[in-house]
Amino acid sequence: MQVSRKLKWALAIAGIIGYFVLASYFKYSYHLSGNVSVILQSFERLGDSRHAVVAHTWVPKGARLGEADSEDDNERSSVMMYEDDKPLGPPHSSHADIMKLGMGRFSHWRGQGFVFSSSDNSDPMTNGRSYRVVMPDQTTRPTHKP
């Protein structure tokens, strides 16, 4: 059976369109074994620090990153943050410590987003690394309080 030239072109174009649709989706979010993972983008400098930034994040429809830390509970968030595939931390760090000390400290703060520094205090806006946050599923979520 011979496939017509028009059908081949139509399938090729459909494949290319499908590729770009999926690539666009996976650029922003993907799910790994029940976890929600979101790529952080659009960084803003935190004060005059060269290594501390704020990332306001887009979350896929229907996905939740859980509750963020706030003044009434600064250990509420259970998200984990990664630089490429390396975990960052400690979490729940004060913004002053993130600005002054850096070294991978981060905070998921209500109304602000993610405040963090790179693992080596290089500039997250120019170091070429990717940053993502992961919300553990309910069965593996770490608890911060007894």
Total domains in the chain come to 1
Tell me the two tokens of residue 113. 């987003």
Alpha helices by DSSP H, listed for the chain, are: 5-28, 95-100
* CB-CB contact of 135 with 35 (8 Å): yes
The domain of 89 spans 31-135
**Cα–Cα distance, 81 to 30 (Å, whole number):** 15
In a domain, 89, yes or no: yes
Look at residues 35, 34, 57, 33 and name the one whose alpha carbon lies nearest to residue 106: 57
Q: Is residue 131 part of a domain?
A: yes
**Is 52 domain-assigned?**
yes
Q: Are 43 and 55 in contact (CB under 8 A)?
A: yes
User: Domain for residue 143, yes or no?
Assistant: no
Q: What is the pLDDT along the chain (146 residues), one digit of tens a residue?
A: 577 888 878 877 877 786 666 555 444 444 444 477 888 888 999 999 999 999 976 676 666 778 889 999 989 999 999 999 899 999 999 999 999 999 999 999 988 889 999 999 999 999 999 999 988 764 444 444 44
Residue count (the chain) = 146
* Amino acid identity at 131: Y
The pLDDT of residue 15 is 74
Residue 97 is predicted with a pLDDT of 96
Work out the angle at residue 125's Cα, subtended by the Cα atoms of residues 108 and 51, and round it to the nearest 5 degrees: 65
Q: Examine residue 90 and say whether the peptide bond preceding it is cis (omega within 30 degrees of 0).
A: yes
In a domain, 125, yes or no: yes
Residue type present at position 35: N
Per residue, the 3-state secondary structure of 111-129, as one string, reads CCEEEEECCCCCCCCCCCC
Question: pTM here?
Answer: 0.68
